[in-house]
Structure 1
Amino acid sequence: MSAPPFTLVGIDHVVFLVDDMDVAMAFYQGVLGCQPGYSYPALGMEQVWTGAALIVLWDTTHPGASAAVPPVAGGRNVDHVCIATSPVDPDDLRAHFAAHGVEIEREAEHGGARGVGNSFYIRDPFGNKLEIKGPAVYPDGRA
């Protein structure tokens, strides 16, 4: 097998299907602090920056999103997306989510691209699972 003619750089973007763009933007900008990205009004699509990557929000109720509507209602094809954060005090994060009415489904210490660190699992208003993960406690994954 030959090597590909490119080098992998990282995740560019993830697309979430939503059915209320105002609610989606309020959550991603107001709760998570994402910054506005590219906008595609003809498609019913907005993008928000999460550090160096984008989350694309595609409104399935918009006429321009017909290609995005899943063939099976309620079907899913993504388990979760992990959003890396700066250092954060776990109590401050818990208080922030509580103030916005966001339930923390699970807390754990998990490995990821930056090593083993604290993870908080939440859902956006459309049921998409997000892992909010601070920097590595052990950058190489070992104690």
Structure 2
Amino acid sequence: MPTETPFSLVGIDHVVLLIDDMKAALSFYYGVLGCQPGYSYPELGMEQVWCGSSLIVLWDITHPGGRKAAPPISGGRNVDHICIATGPFDHQAMRAHLKSYGVEIHQEAFHGGARGMGYSFYIHDPFGNKLEIKGPAEYPDGRATVSTG
């Protein structure tokens, strides 16, 4: 039986992604996703970008300050994907936007998430990190429904 914690959960504060090209990373997260500049730690080879009210931390493992974060040679991954919640979007406009940046859509799906059943696009950033771009919940009565093009 779970014990009561001395704190309350608010949500995800930040996620750290390991990258090896800061310029390409910032181009993707600013251009494709529309993230905004966050905190900068140049001595660590780290830039943070705002994704709504959460941060995505980009840590360059080729930078001397980021080498300690590099995964062991044996490799392996420890995160499948990050889901980025969005407001309503037109599905065809999303497809066109991603195509304009040369970003391949690996999957489209309609399934549950923290905000309910909604439509998602799965893509990868330039470093192979899988991102799910998930719209708001859509309900049978039409609330929050947008064009599925």
TM-score bin (small chain): over 0.9
Length-normalised TM-score, structure 1: 0.94
What percent identity do the matched residue pairs reach?
71
Q: CA RMSD in A?
A: 1.2
Structure 2: gaps (5+ residues) = 141-149
Match of 1:135 in 2: 136
Matching of residue 101 in structure 1 with residue 102 in structure 2 = yes
CA distance in 2, matches of 1:58, 1:110: 31
* Amino acid aligned to 1:127: G
Length-normalised TM-score, structure 2: 0.90
CA distance in 2, matches of 1:33, 1:22: 15
CA shift, 1:67, in A, is 1.8
CA distance in 2, matches of 1:87, 1:50: 16
Q: Deviations over 1:40-75 (max 9, x none)?
A: 011000000000100000000000012201113542
CA distance in 1, matches of 2:74, 2:126: 17
Task: Kindly report structure 1 stretches of 4+ aligned residues shifted beyond 3 Å.
Answer: none
Helix, strand or coil for the counterpart of 2:48? strand
Match of 2:147 in 1: none
Matching of residue 75 in structure 1 with residue 76 in structure 2 = yes
Alignment coverage as a number of residue pairs: 139
Match of 2:124 in 1: 123
* Amino acid aligned to 1:80: H
